[in-house]
Structure 1
Amino acid sequence: MPFVLHLLALAVFAQGTSEFMLSGLVQDIAADLDVSLPAAGLLTSAFAVGMVIGAPLMAVLSMRWSQRRSLLTFLCAFVGVHVVGAVTTSYEVLLATRVVAALANAGFLAVALVTAVGMVTPSATGRATSVLLAGTTLACVAGVPAGAVLGQAWGWRSAFWAVALVSVPALAGILRWVPARAPGAAAPGARRELRVLRRPRLLVVLLLGALVNGGTFCALTYLAPLVTDVAGLAVGWVPAVLALFGIGSFAGVTVAGRLGDAHPVRLLAVGGVLLLAGWVGFALVAANPAASSALVLVQGGLGFAVGATLIAQALRAATGAPTLAGAFATGAFNVGAALGPWLGGLAIAAGPGPLASLWVSAAMVAPALAIGAAAHALQRAAAPAPAA
């Protein structure tokens, strides 16, 4: 694999860390900026909103730029707003930087995927893609806990500085090794792809992805107060619990990669039922440190296994839209990432405290199961009967 792909993966790692790390910093940010816990939780929703808007918008915009210009522009913007976020004392400014960072993240990832595939032979496409996307998984395993450790040692702003610094080597790699060729204008192609994305099956899969991811992000955003305020663990345990979630997510993505292609319906059905049962069970035993820690691991695995399988199904349902299929899948999943923390914040503000976020997670997965079952039944009923 070209060395620059590993540098691009490092940037993806920084971006994934930025997206997820507030789950370990939300309490400190709320205290430092003198805002409520739900308001601090909205910073995660703001990033997700930026991803929702940015995924399709930046995918179309990048069609008209060279790969080098696109990557440099998006990554420089990403670094810049993290510097602003690290020094600001204004909640409103920090909220704005989260939206801009997400726009840059969405654009960078869209172009980086195209760049990675273009740098290798067709037979190595899957490996190149996996090298790049490994950055996101590693962000859950290592980046988020590391951000929590930095936050506890030197304050939440140090985590923002770290994300900016980790991104710098990728800037040098882009300047040195990424070719300055343009992918070519493709506005007519984009219009054709948008028509493909109206297919009912695709819309159902995107809805399911938004609901499942919303449940996952709702619980993840408020995991730190769940660990400390409900389970009664010391704040020093927060990075370890976040690492458990990351390990679970890595295992879930691995399982989805191995089983999702051959048995997608079975994985979604069984995984979805277990995911719903897990959120309910988590809410019931959240005060038990051992049981809640175990369920953090399990729910991370189930959430990402079901979520990754839905992404694959969305891409399959969007044949004929190779550029925008991934962008809209990313956008739909980030609708959930925005909606989940927002609904969780409303529930917490109503009085029950952080435990309410787990019930909201369960409430988002339940309709996904019902909709998925109904859609599958309709699909089977509409299928032609086998010849006698």
Structure 2
Amino acid sequence: MNKGLVALAFGGLAIGMTEFTMMGILPDIAKDINIDIPSASNLIGLYALGVVVGAPTLVAATSKYSPKAVLLFLMLLFFVFNGIFTIAPNEWSLFTSRFVAGLPHGAFFGIGSVVAAKLAKPGKEAQAISMMFTGMTIANLAGVPLGTYIGHHYSWRITYAIISALGLLTFLTIYFWMPKISANKNNNVIHQISYFKRWDAWLIVAVIAIGTGGLFAWISYISKLVTTVSGLHPNEVSTVMILVGCGMFVGNIIGGKLADSMLPTKAAIICFSAMAICLVVVFFTAHINELAYPMAFITGMVAFSIGSPLQLMLINNAQGSETFAAAGGQAAFNIGNSLGAYFGAIPIAYGYAYNYPSAIGILMASIGAILAYIFLIKYAIPNQKKKKAAQIKEMESSVNIFADL
């Protein structure tokens, strides 16, 4: 196994824990700093905002440096500000450090996706990217439930101290295991940014930002969903999060294989459609506590299968601007995080039960599938035809040269 990919997976583990553990211990943090749940959910939105701001700015600012050096810098930033979040004494310092802790997220996965694709064998790029995201799924499988348990029974600050330490561990694994990849001396920031002058770039951003909001409308309030609607004991939240993590682990592998076996856009349409169907089931069956467990696994699996197809969509569509596009994709993913949490909170604010955020998720995932289909027809299929035509022309040219000899 390529140790460079393992190092990236450690980063996925650390980032996955800092992002998703918040959903499970949000009530504990709210109680600790004496605010209500909707106000505490700003910690989710502020982290997402940090990702949105950090992804393009940090990629642009570090474009002339080697990928390894940039990844080391990003994980150092992650380590420091998650550590500050751990000891923050008041609401203002918690919110500020949470925002800054989100800055490295998008840039890490953006640069990491491009590095993973370079380290991969031909035709295995999506599976290499999924290897990096495996760290995030392991976070949901083991790290988030453990962090949730510690947060419930001891202190959420201990949970985030562990997360900060994982950032330091990632720094060390990248330093020792990541191979040296030379900086692209011809990397032009203006050229990278110009990718977002194209309509197809913004269509992918919309696909990600709206479609993945379906996941976050569900998972942002999963703790309250299973305790107030499904009727599970609060101690069972950790079990539910383990099942979600198991599903995400399996879904990540499925998504990587799916995106390598067909057009990534087709894979994205399938994944978004399946996500919408799962959320329909969650909405109508959430009151049946026996179904809370299997649906946690199934919905987590389906929802997280989308990651690799979307990243490969971006990379394939942004020749010459791959890093900036992949980082922008992570920013869009976290816009989805923020939108899902925000719109999911609206029915709760009006007094509806905690299964109603899933109804918002159904709508968002469905829109994601529709937008992905538009991208498929308008851009992905024509681009594939052009690529095949160019390959045929190149082969014919080679044959003609051989014949002349």
* 1:335–1:159 distance in 2 versus 1, CA, 3 Å: same
SS of residue paired to 2:197: coil
CA–CA distance in structure 2, aligned partners of residues 8 and 266 of structure 1: 26
Question: Please, what TM-score do these two structures have when normalized by structure 2?
Answer: 0.83
SS of residue paired to 1:63: coil
SS of residue paired to 1:260: helix
| Residue 297 (structure 2) aligns with | 297
- Equivalent position amino acid for 2:352 in 1: P
| Residue 339 (structure 2) aligns with | 339
Q: Does residue 252 of structure 1 match 2:251?
A: yes
- Kindly report which structure 2 residues correspond to 1:120-199, keeping only aligned pairs within 5 A, or say none: 126=125, 131-174=131-174, 183=183, 189-199=188-198
| Residue 242 (structure 2) aligns with | 243
* 1:360–1:48 distance in 2 versus 1, CA, 3 Å: same
Q: Does residue 263 of structure 1 match 2:262?
A: yes
Deviation at 1:198, TM superposition (A): 3.2
CA–CA distance in structure 2, aligned partners of residues 3 and 273 of structure 1: 35
Aligned residue pairs, count: 382
CA–CA distance in structure 2, aligned partners of residues 325 and 181 of structure 1: 19
Deviation at 1:169, TM superposition (A): 2.9
| Residue 320 (structure 1) aligns with | 320
| Residue 391 (structure 2) aligns with | none
Answer whether contact 1:4 1:177 (CA < 8 A) is retained: yes
- Equivalent position amino acid for 2:255 in 1: A
CA–CA distance in structure 1, aligned partners of residues 103 and 380 of structure 2: 39
Deviation at 1:356, TM superposition (A): 2.4
Give the RMSD, CA atoms, in angstroms. Answer: 3.1
- Kindly report which structure 2 residues correspond to 1:198-237, keeping only aligned pairs within 5 A, or say none: 198-237=197-236
Answer whether contact 1:39 1:345 (CA < 8 A) is retained: no
| Residue 362 (structure 1) aligns with | 362
CA–CA distance in structure 2, aligned partners of residues 379 and 76 of structure 1: 39
- Equivalent position amino acid for 2:216 in 1: F
Q: Please give the per-residue CA displacement for 1:130-184, whole angstroms capped at 9, x wherever unaligned.
A: 5543212211222111111111221211110111122333334455566898725
Between stretches 127-136 and 163-172, larger displacement belongs to 127-136
| Residue 49 (structure 2) aligns with | 49
Q: Which ranges of structure 1 fall in alignment gaps of 5 or more residues?
A: none
- Equivalent position amino acid for 1:308 in 2: S
Q: Please give the per-residue CA displacement for 1:256-315, whole angstroms capped at 9, x wherever unaligned.
A: 222223334554444433322221221111111122322222221222223432332222
Deviation at 1:191, TM superposition (A): 1.6
Q: Which ranges of structure 2 fall in alignment gaps of 5 or more residues?
A: 386-405
* 1:107–1:274 distance in 2 versus 1, CA, 3 Å: closer
| Residue 401 (structure 2) aligns with | none
- Equivalent position amino acid for 2:302 in 1: L
CA–CA distance in structure 2, aligned partners of residues 177 and 47 of structure 1: 28
- Equivalent position amino acid for 2:17 in 1: T
The percentage of counterpart residues that share the same residue type is 25
Answer whether contact 1:197 1:321 (CA < 8 A) is retained: no
SS of residue paired to 1:183: coil
Deviation at 1:37, TM superposition (A): 0.8
| Residue 104 (structure 2) aligns with | 104
Answer whether contact 2:230 2:288 (CA < 8 A) is retained: yes
* 1:194–1:286 distance in 2 versus 1, CA, 3 Å: same
| Residue 9 (structure 1) aligns with | 9
| Residue 19 (structure 2) aligns with | 19
- Equivalent position amino acid for 1:312 in 2: L
Question: Please, what TM-score do these two structures have when normalized by structure 1?
Answer: 0.86
| Residue 284 (structure 1) aligns with | 284
Answer whether contact 1:56 1:328 (CA < 8 A) is retained: yes
- Equivalent position amino acid for 2:239 in 1: A
